[in-house]
């Protein structure tokens, strides 16, 4: 078990080196309800704050409806409305219908989650396109009965119009507290994003609050 915590430390230390980059603070609040057996509805809001500009850089709200057909397989659909702050001022609105399939499996008390999502990104004044998002998360065994569970995660976004991968993130996080109706997560993420043939790097510190009604 100790080697996994060493891996987390090395991951964070390596990411602290390198060229100058952006720094952002993320906050997500999610509410979940299960109106019927094996059917869940998740509603969430997320805010991105840029320390470089001292202002919000992105905000969105979304809703997902999922169906657990097996104890290791879930599928469903969602819709998101997001706003990105433009450099010249104002906000760029995006509407995003989504379909997803998630799989999870435990191996020797270590949890693995594999997320798959297909998106259609729709804009008023920009070209629309389809995108595929995949993510793999590894959660280590909890240290206490009320949380303290470390995890590592990677995710990448692939444009399906021939441009390929344009966004990737690598997370090291901690489920600091988890009970029946509440969960608190904190994390660090290294983000690589392609903008006009250049890859921009960002450091992200995030906080997720989840409530189950």
Each residue of 73-85: pLDDT tens digit? 999 999 999 999 9
Q: What is the pLDDT of residue 6?
A: 46
52: how many CB neighbours lie within 10 A of its CB? 11
Phi, psi of 5 (to 5 degrees): -70, -35
Q: What is the pLDDT of residues 93-132, one digit of tens each?
A: 999 999 999 999 999 889 999 999 999 999 998 999 999 9
Q: What is the pLDDT of residues 5-60, one digit of tens each?
A: 444 444 444 554 445 689 999 999 999 999 999 999 999 999 999 998 899 999 99
Residue 189 confidence (pLDDT) above 60:
yes
Q: Would residue 182 be called left, alpha or beta, if left means φ above 0 and alpha means ψ between -120 and 50 degrees?
A: beta
Regarding beta strands 164-179 and 149-159, do their DSSP bridges make them parallel or antiparallel, or are they unpaired? antiparallel
Phi, psi of 87 (to 5 degrees): -65, -35
Q: What is the pLDDT of residue 20?
A: 66
Q: Are 174 and 188 in contact (CB under 8 A)?
A: no
Residue 212 confidence (pLDDT) above 90:
yes
Of the listed ranges 8-17, 119-128, 149-158, 162-171, the least confidently predicted one is 8-17
- What span, in angstroms and rounded, lies between the C-alpha atoms of 15 and 184? 24
Residue 200 confidence (pLDDT) above 50:
yes
The two three-digit tokens of residue 5, written as one number:
């915590």
Higher pLDDT, 17 or 71: 71
pTM > 0.85: yes
Q: What is the pLDDT of residue 9?
A: 46
Residue 148 confidence (pLDDT) above 70:
yes
Q: Would residue 162 be called left, alpha or beta, if left means φ above 0 and alpha means ψ between -120 and 50 degrees?
A: left
Q: What is the pLDDT of residue 13?
A: 47
Question: Which DSSP category does 201 fall into?
Answer: E
Higher pLDDT, 125 or 61: 61
């Amino acid at each position: 078990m100790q080697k996994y915590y060493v891996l987390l430390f090395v991951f964070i230390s390596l990411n602290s080196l390198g060229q100058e980059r952006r720094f952002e603070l993320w906050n997500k609040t999610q509410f979940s309800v299960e109106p019927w057996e094996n059917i869940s509805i998740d509603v969430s809001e997320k805010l991105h704050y840029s320390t470089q500009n001292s202002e919000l850089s992105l905000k969105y709200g979304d809703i997902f409806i999922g169906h657990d057909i097996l104890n290791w397989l879930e599928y469903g659909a969602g819709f998101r409305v997001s706003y990105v702050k433009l450099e010249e001022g104002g906000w760029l609105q995006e509407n995003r219908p989504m379909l997803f399939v998630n799989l999870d499996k435990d191996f020797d008390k270590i949890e693995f989650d594999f997320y798959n999502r297909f998106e259609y990104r729709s804009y008023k004044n920009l070209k629309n396109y389809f995108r595929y998002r995949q993510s793999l998360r590894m959660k280590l065994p909890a240290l206490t009965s009320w949380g303290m569970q470390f995890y590592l995660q990677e995710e990448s976004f692939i444009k399906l119009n021939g441009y390929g991968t344009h966004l990737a993130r690598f997370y090291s996080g901690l489920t600091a507290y988890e009970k029946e109706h509440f969960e608190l997560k904190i994390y660090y993420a290294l983000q690589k994003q392609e903008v006009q043939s250049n890859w921009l790097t960002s450091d992200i510190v995030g906080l997720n609050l989840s409530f189950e009604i």
